[in-house]
Amino acid sequence: MSEHWEEPPEEDGLTLGPEEALQREIEKSKTLKVDRLRLRDEIEKLKAETADLIQKNHLLKERLTALGNPSAEPEKASEFFRNILIFALVFGFLALLWFMVQN
């Protein structure tokens, strides 16, 4: 019972011996391990960055609620100042009329 061993052809069309095939697989394994470690480090950095951004977002939301509802405040303030301006113009016009009538 004699089994005939055939080497699988490699990408470049050459058939490598068992030692060369094993060496190539070891190199591929090392490359994959390095890539895996690099990706793991990148994932850790991204997780830390995400946590930092979540914390900053939370702090900004707290500041926003502490300041009140900013979308409604400018409308109220501009309406208030517009009313003051109208009152000042009417009062100034009436004061001018009063001075003209006095002279």
For residue 31, pLDDT beyond 80: yes
Domain borders along the chain are 15-68, 70-103
- Residues 35-44 pLDDT 10s: 999 999 999 9
| Residue 78: predicted pLDDT | 80
Q: Is there a contact between 15 and 9 (Cβ–Cβ < 8 Å)?
A: yes
- Residues 58-91 pLDDT 10s: 999 999 888 876 555 556 678 888 889 999 999 9
0.95 surpassed by pTM: no
